[in-house]
Amino acid sequence: MNQRYANPYVIGALLGLVLLFCFYTMGRGVGSSASFSRIAAAGIDLVAPAHAGQMTYFSSYFSKGNSPLKDWLVFLTLGAGLGGLFSAFISRRIQGEVVRGPSIGVSARLWLALAGGILSGFAARLARGCTSGQALTGASEMAFGSWVFMFSIFAGAYAMAYFFRKEWL
């Protein structure tokens, strides 16, 4: 299997240029949690259209009669996912496996991943921004709350790694 990866410094510089381009063209930075809220709003609209526009949380996504999916951040998130899949495909890194430590089972790993994803998604909406929105956009705007958020994310990750390290050894 080919284990070549892109240079992280080059990718970081390119990501910075994407952020600058977004500020210049769209007037705001990047983030993905709003995309998932828009997808949820579209799903609710598909199942219960009369109810979707009346929900306080989702009502702003239905302004001007447009679909909640008609937003550039939805396409940015879709492009990021497809780009990652394309990158994995051309470097032959796509495999059907669950990466885990030797002392944890596949189902436990999947349940923990699901729980972590749900918790992260809830926290991102509660914080009014995901880690990419907080770290890239908020930090580039020198928002104090974004810096506190990122330091807290890293501190929490290091603290939790101590307790879960035995699962990977």
Quote the pTM value: 0.68
Q: How many CA atoms lie within 13 A of 43 on its CB side?
A: 6
Q: How far apart are CA 92 and CA 3, in angstroms?
A: 8
Of the candidates 44, 33, 17, 128, the residue with the CA atom closest to the CA atom of residue 71: 33
What is the Cα gyration radius of the chain?
A: 19
The answer to whether residues 32 and 73 touch, using CB atoms and an 8 Å cutoff, is yes
- How do residues 63-109 score in pLDDT, each as one tens digit? 767 788 888 888 888 888 898 888 888 888 888 888 887 778 899 88
